[in-house]
Amino acid sequence: MSSMKRVQNLKLLWEKRFRGIYSPSHYALDGTGELTLATPRPLAPRSYDITSYALDSAAEPRWGLSVETLLKMNLSTRDIGLGMTSDDLYIFRPNSKTKFLPDRHINYVDCSLSEDGSRLAALFSDLAGSSFALAYGDADARVIWMREFDAPVTSVAISRDGARVLVGCESGSLTLLDAGRRDVWQFEMESAVRAVACSQDATSIAYADSAGRIGLITGDGTRLWEYSAGLEIVALALSADASVCAAVGTLPGDTQQLATLICISPDGSEGFRLETDRRVTGVALSPEGEYLATGARDGTISVYAVSTGEVEASGRVEAAKQAALREQAGGNHAAACALLRQALVLSPADVATCDLYLSIRDAWFEGSIKLAQSAMQAGDLLLAITQLADIVAEEPLYVPAIEMLKSARAERALRLVEQGLQQEDEGNIEAAEQSLTEAALVSPLENTDPRRVLGTFHARLAEVAEAGANTKLAAGDRDGALHLLSQAQARHANPERAKRITSLRIESEYEAGMEAYNARRYEEAIFQFKKTLTMAPGHSDAARYLEYARRFSQDSASDSLQDRFSRLE
């Protein structure tokens, strides 16, 4: 059985107090224990030196910046920083300061910067606080994409490599997105999200909610563990390898808000707890969890060495089993099985864990099969397909589900074909196409009948569109005819129609060129004649008038130049 790290102790390496300093940002602590901070200049208000502090607290200023009072400062290991006010977001580089989304009137909620500073994420709302969004951008202040959210957003974390973004909401929703704005997964909790953190590439993410719970979720959306800290969490950090999770929180009702620092091990157990005498507001971890830094409201910065010991993976397996039982009790058999499969990877010879997995899986499969059978009898084939597909995804060799799924899909395809043809008879063409397309997709591949019906349906639509195109041509509406012919070709292509479309486009481009030529818009005419010749290289009239247009264009330019010189004389 493999072993893993468990947090055992913290050793204070150095501690300094700075007036007006910002707490360490998530990724400002590197693998050597060097911490990057924005250190205030004593005699220059709102001016800071970006400074590196070594393990012996030796300081090395790198560059400076000036900025108004910020709500949050994020610094990368490279020379890039991110500063947030209530209505502005600044990107800092040596000798430069750029605003992100400069023309928008918005309120910023939270922001996050990747480890190398190349990517950033920002949460904001409109001024009325009625709509909420996430912006994902780069260090050049370029907005790559935006994503709106239905619920108020509370916290954001970008993975160290910048490839994924995690967003928490007041509703308890967690959403993980990739660099292409696609949802990786969504996770719903009962309490509002208060803090989030990511591993290197967000294959593990940590969250803290308003009930004082801290949890770890894998990249596929499976919760590995959840720990009840009994605190109001104000800051959260996760090492790049997810071996250490650190949280800072205060006791509910504590008027002094003196913070407690907790380090959590990979199995979800508490490794170390430190009762501080300060209002700690921020925490950072080095990539491998060897060093930890905190920042307090009074300006105290503390850097610790994290001591770990090796423990057998049995603790992690046991934690997975307990988490699986909680998921089972909540009716989430798929998540329970996923946890137990991971435990079996850690401990392949663990027969007891395997038996637990099989018992949960078999109960899940039995219940889903019964539900699918009832759904099929009631005519709810979509519900039956969903239940059976989940079984096959978990165990592709589970024959009873395979046979039922095949039958349910074939029956649904048949009903959708009947429904689609009826909708066509009723004149509801859009609904008919949707039904017939779904029939072709849901039908088992060996049954080609739904695809043939869809193809014939498209051929009929193409005929109708082509007839409409002929009518428009007769009325002199070539553009309208082209539009209908293109629609027909998209639904049911044939070579004759393709030639006709090309011929009409050539005519259209040539006539547009002649119109511009006769109106003495020679540059426009040249453009149109070139397009004509691209489609029809042998079009002699287009070639001839292209040369005429070029000559007149050159003559016009020469005349204009002569006029300017004559005016100068």
- 494-569 is classed in which CATH architecture? Alpha Horseshoe (1.25)
How high is the pLDDT of residue 556? 63
CATH number, span 333-416: 1.25.40
The average pLDDT across 526-534 equals 92
275: β partners: 260
80-114 b/e (C-beta count within 10 Å ≥ 16 → b): bbbbbeeebbbbbbeeeeeebbeebebebbbbbbb
C-beta of residue 126 within 8 angstroms of C-beta of residue 107: yes
Residue 102 has pLDDT above 50, yes or no: yes
SS3 of residue 489 by DSSP:
helix
Using CA of residue 35, residue 250, residue 205, residue 305, what is the dihedral sign? positive
SS3 of residue 486 by DSSP:
helix
* Least confident span in 8-17, 138-147, 305-314: 305-314
**Mean pLDDT over all residues of the chain?**
89
Residues in the chain: 569
Most confident of 258-272, 297-311, 471-485: 471-485
Tokens of 501: 């479309």
- C-alpha 296/C-alpha 182 separation (Å) is 37
- C-alpha 231/C-alpha 214 separation (Å) is 10
The average pLDDT across 275-287 equals 93
Q: How far is CA 10 from the centre of its chain?
A: 35
Q: In this predicted model, what pLDDT tens digit does every residue of 347-405 receive, in sequence order? A: 888 899 999 999 999 999 999 999 999 999 999 999 999 999 989 988 888 899 999 99
How high is the pLDDT of residue 559? 55
The average pLDDT across 330-340 equals 87
- C-alpha 208/C-alpha 214 separation (Å) is 4
Residue 162 has pLDDT above 70, yes or no: yes
- C-alpha 411/C-alpha 414 separation (Å) is 5
- C-alpha 528/C-alpha 34 separation (Å) is 63
- C-alpha 85/C-alpha 99 separation (Å) is 11
* Least confident span in 320-334, 444-458, 516-530, 537-551: 320-334
How high is the pLDDT of residue 73? 94
How high is the pLDDT of residue 315? 66
How high is the pLDDT of residue 557? 54
Q: Across the chain, how many H-helices and E-strands are there?
A: 11, 27
- C-alpha 199/C-alpha 477 separation (Å) is 60
333-416 with 494-569: one CATH topology? yes
Using CA of residue 361, residue 366, residue 369, residue 370, what is the dihedral sign? negative
Q: What separation in angstroms does the CA of 135 have from each of 125, 140, 185?
A: 11, 14, 18
**Angle at CA of residue 136, ends 134 and 137, nearest 5°:** 145
Q: Which fold has domain 20-243?
A: Methylamine Dehydrogenase; Chain H (2.130.10)
- C-alpha 567/C-alpha 569 separation (Å) is 5
185: β partners: 176
User: Mapped to the 3 state alphabet, what secondary structure does 208-233 carry?
Assistant: EECCCEEEEEECCCCEEEEEECCCEE
Q: In this predicted model, what pLDDT tens digit does every residue of 505-515 receive, in sequence order? A: 999 999 999 99
C-beta of residue 484 within 8 angstroms of C-beta of residue 472: yes
Kindly state the DSSP code that residue 418 receives in the 8-state scheme.
Answer: H
How high is the pLDDT of residue 310? 56
Strands 96-100 and 106-113: unpaired
How high is the pLDDT of residue 243? 87
How high is the pLDDT of residue 164? 96
How high is the pLDDT of residue 2? 39
The average pLDDT across 21-41 equals 93
Residue 59 has pLDDT above 70, yes or no: yes
Q: Is 514 left (phi over 0), alpha (psi -120 to 50) or beta?
A: alpha
Widest Cα–Cα separation across the chain: 101
349-364 b/e (C-beta count within 10 Å ≥ 16 → b): ebeebbebbeebbeeb
How high is the pLDDT of residue 312? 53
Residue type for 196, please?
V
Beta strand segments in 449-493, E: none
Contacts 24+ apart (CB under 8 A), 169-178: 169/193, 172/209, 174/205, 174/207, 174/217, 175/149, 176/202, 176/205, 176/219, 176/221, 177/134, 177/136, 177/147
How high is the pLDDT of residue 252? 86
Contacts 24+ apart (CB under 8 A), 51-60: 53/14, 53/301, 53/303, 55/13, 55/14, 55/303, 56/14, 57/13, 57/14, 57/16, 57/303
Q: With cut-offs at 50, 70 and 90, classify the pLDDT of residue 223.
A: confident
User: Mapped to the 3 state alphabet, what secondary structure does 325-345 carry?
Assistant: HHHHHCCCHHHHHHHHHHHHH
- C-alpha 427/C-alpha 528 separation (Å) is 41
- What are the residue ranges spanned by the domains of the chain? 20-243, 333-416, 494-569
How high is the pLDDT of residue 566? 44
Residue 530 has pLDDT above 60, yes or no: yes
- C-alpha 38/C-alpha 52 separation (Å) is 9
- C-alpha 436/C-alpha 455 separation (Å) is 9
**Angle at CA of residue 124, ends 19 and 78, nearest 5°:** 55
The answer for residues whose C-beta is within 8 angstroms of residue 60's C-beta and 6 or more apart is 51, 52, 53, 54
* Least confident span in 136-140, 281-285, 313-317, 557-561: 557-561
- C-alpha 468/C-alpha 480 separation (Å) is 9
How high is the pLDDT of residue 565? 40
Residue 299 has pLDDT above 70, yes or no: yes
